[in-house]
Chain A
Amino acid sequence: MNIIVSIKQVPDTTEVRIDPVTNTLVREGVPSIINPFDENAIECGLQLVEKHGGKVTVITMGPPQAQQALKDALAMGADEAILVSDRAFAGSDTLATSYTLAQTIKKLGEYDLIICGKQAFDGDTAQVGPGLAEHLGIPQVTYAIDIEVEGKKARVKRLLSDRFEVVETRLPCLITVVKQMNEPRHASLKNVMKARKKEIPTWTAADIEADESRCGLNGSPTNVVKVFAPQRHTQGERLEGDVNDVVERLVKILREKQVV
C-alpha cells in the first residue's frame, strides 16, 4: 500500500497565551510539536504497511522549521518525508492549505490512502482533510476509529457522538482519525538514526505547479481580523466553612440563579 500521511507542526497550545497588556499572541519559547492527532494518523499508516506491505510518506506544509515534525515522523518509522514550503504559502487558510497539499499529492503520484488527524490542535477546524479529499476528488471518511483494508476497498469504523458507524468505501480515499484509534509508538533508536541521515526534500510552489492565486493569502477567502483573550471572569466566589452549611448555601444560590 502506498500511504500518504499529511501532518502539521503546531505550537503546544497549553503554552500559547494572549499578552494582557499588548493583546498579542505570546508564542516566544512555545515548543512546537507534531499535532497529537497526526501521531495517530502516522501510527495508523505504519500499522497498515506492517500488515499489507508498502510505504508511508509523510508530508507537511509549513515554514522551514516544520522539518522537525517530519524528522519526528521518520523517527516513528515513516519511509519518506516531504516539506512543502514557500513564502507564497504564508497566510493560508484551510482552503488554500488543502489546495496546496492536493498539488503536493498530485506530484507524488499514485497512492492508495491518505490519512490525517481529525483536526489540528491549534486551529481545531477539522477542515483541511475534507478539503484535501475534495481537491483530489476522492471519498473521505472522517473520525475513523478503526480501518480494515481489503483489496481496493476500505472498511472504516467511525466514532460519532452517540454511536459508531461502519462505512465501506473504495480506495483511494482519505480518512481522518481520532485519538482512540491507537497508541502512537515511540521512536526507536534505529529509526532515530535513520531519520537523522534521511534527506528531506523541500518543494516550493513552482515544484508542485501551484497556481499562486490559490495559495497563501491570495487563495484564502477567510482572514483573521482580530485576536483577543477570552473573557473568563476570575472573581469566583469561594464558599467556605462547615460542609453542610456550604452545601446549603450553594443549593440556595443555584436555586436563586434558576440553574437547578
Chain B
Amino acid sequence: MPIYIDADKCVGCKLCLSACPYGAIDMVEGKAVFNDNCTQCGACISSCKFGAIIAEITRKENVDTSQYKGVWVLAETHDGRLADVTLELVSEGRKLADELGVELAMVLAGWQVEPLAQIAAHYGADKVYLVEHETLEHYRTDPFTSVIAALINQYKPEIVLIGATVMGRDLASRIAARIGAGLTADCTGLAIDPETRLLMQTRPAFGGNVMATIVCRHARPQMATVRPRVMKKAEPDLSRTAEIIRSHVDLKEQAIAAKILEIIREEGRDELDVQEAEIIVSGGRGLRKAENFALIRELAEVLGAAVGASRATVDAGWIPAYHQVGQTGKTVQPKLYIACGISGAVQHLAGMGSSDCIVAINNDPDAPIFGVAHYGIVGDLFEVVPALTKALKKELGLE
C-alpha cells in the first residue's frame, strides 16, 4: 500500500481527519487508521505535523523537474482570431511566469495564423511557437496532439495551460496521456506555491459542491485546462513584441484519421453564446410556457445579454439546449446573471454560482436561488421582468 500511517509517530492529534476528503481515517485506540474508504489520494500527507503519514511514491522514471522551465499557453483560434480564453490565459500566464521568473510563450498551431502571434505579445507573451500547416486549418485531435507534444518534448515547459473548452479538453487530455503529464481539468484558480514553485490548481468538483486544490509534484509539464471567463484579460500593451519561433512540420493528410466533412451552424446559433456573454438573462420553469421566453429576450436585448435557460425549460422543449446553464449545460461566470423564475437546483447553481453579480427574481421566497443571489426580488416575474426592462431602457437611454 503506497500510503501508510506510522503508528509510532502518530500522536492522535486528529488533524488528518479533517484533511481527508473521503472520511477514510478513523481513530482506533488513540491512533489514526485508514478504513476502506481510503482512495489513497494523499490529501492527508501534508496535514500531519509529525511525519506519521508516509507515501511511498515509487516511479520508474523520476522526471528531472529542473529541466523544465517556462509557462506556455496553447492557443485556440476561431475564424481567424484568438479565442478570448486564450488571451485570458496569456494574461494569467504572464503573472505566473513573473512569479517564477521565467518566460511566457504561446503555442500557435494553425494555417495562416501568423498575424495572431503579435496579439499574444500585447497581452504578455515573450515568445510564440508557431506551427503552420494546411492540415492544421481546423482543429483535429491527431495532428494538433503530435505537433504540440513534440514541442513540449523539445522545449520542456514547466506549465502548460489551455482553455477548458471543447477543443482544449479534447486536446489536453490526449497530450497529457501521450507524454505522461499531470493534467487538471477546468481550473478556476491558479497560483504558484512560493516554496515548492508548484502550480496550485483549484477547481470545482462534485457539481460545484466542493472545491479541490490539486498539484502535480513529479511529472512535467504541469498541465491545466482553465475555465473561460474566470481569468481577467490584461490591458493590451501594443508596444510589446514577441520572438517568433517557427517549427516546420511534415504532416500528411492521408495519415490523419479524422476528416471534417461538414460544419453546420444552426439557425439561431448566431445569438450571443452564454459562455461568451458579460451579462446573461436566464429563464426557468416559472415562465410557464415557451412563448414567455419573449420576456427574457426583451430584457436580454436591452442589456446586450445572452439568453440562458434552466434544464427544466430545455427538457420541456421551450428553448434549444445550447442555452442551458448548469452542470449538464454550460458553466458560466458573467459579470451579471439575472435568474428569472429559476428555483435554483444545485446543478443550476453549479453552472452559474460564481457569477460576479447575481440577481434572482422568483415568487417563492424559499427558492434556493436566493441563497446565491446578491440581490433577490420576491415577486411575480410577469410583473417584475417587464418593469425591469422598461426601467433599464429608460436608464440606458434606449427609449
With A232-B371, A248-B391, A251-B391 known as contacts, the answer to whether A22 contacts B180 (CB < 8 A) is: no
In the complex, residue of chain B having the shortest beta-carbon distance to the beta carbon of A128: B173
CB-CB under 8 A from A91, the residues of chain B are 2-3, 39-42
Q: Is A177 located at the chain interface by the 8 A CB criterion?
A: no
Inter-subunit contact A28/B23 (CB<8 Å): yes
Kindly specify which of A71-79, A139-147, A199-207 makes contact with the partner chain: A139-147
Cα separation A224 to B205 with both chains bound (whole Å): 11
Inter-subunit contact B59/A218 (CB<8 Å): yes
With A217-B55, A238-B376 known as contacts, the answer to whether A168 contacts B261 (CB < 8 A) is: yes
Which single member of A95, A141, A160, A217 contacts B3 (CB below 8 Å)?
A217
Which single member of A24, A127, A236, A260 contacts B18 (CB below 8 Å)?
A24
In B345-360, which residues have CB < 8 Å from any A CB?
A: 345-347, 353-354, 356-360
Which single member of A36, A128, A162, A253 contacts B328 (CB below 8 Å)?
A36
With both chains docked as a complex, state the minimum distance between the C-beta of B204 and any C-beta of chain A, in angstroms: 7
With A95-B183, A226-B213, A246-B379 known as contacts, the answer to whether A134 contacts B259 (CB < 8 A) is: no
Q: Is B343 located at the chain interface by the 8 A CB criterion?
A: no
Q: How many residues of B contact A (CB 8 A)?
A: 112
Inter-subunit contact B209/A230 (CB<8 Å): yes
Cα separation A222 to B205 with both chains bound (whole Å): 15
Binary per-residue interface labels of chain B (9-42) against chain A in the complex, 1 for a CB within 8 Å, 0 otherwise:
0000000011111110000000000000111111
In A220-234, which residues have CB < 8 Å from any B CB?
A: 220-230, 232-234
Binding site for B on A (CB under 8 A): 11, 13-14, 16-18, 22-28, 36, 87, 90-91, 93-95, 98, 121-131, 133-135, 139-143, 155, 158, 160-170, 173, 179-180, 213, 216-218, 220-230, 232-234, 236-240, 243-244, 246-248, 250-251, 253-255, 257, 259-260
26 A–B pairs (Cβ distance < 8 Å), ordered by A: A22-B18, A23-B18, A24-B22, A91-B42, A122-B205, A124-B204, A125-B173, A127-B183, A130-B169, A131-B174, A139-B141, A141-B258, A161-B166, A162-B273, A165-B263, A168-B258, A218-B57, A221-B182, A221-B217, A222-B216, A226-B43, A227-B43, A236-B376, A237-B376, A248-B391, A253-B375
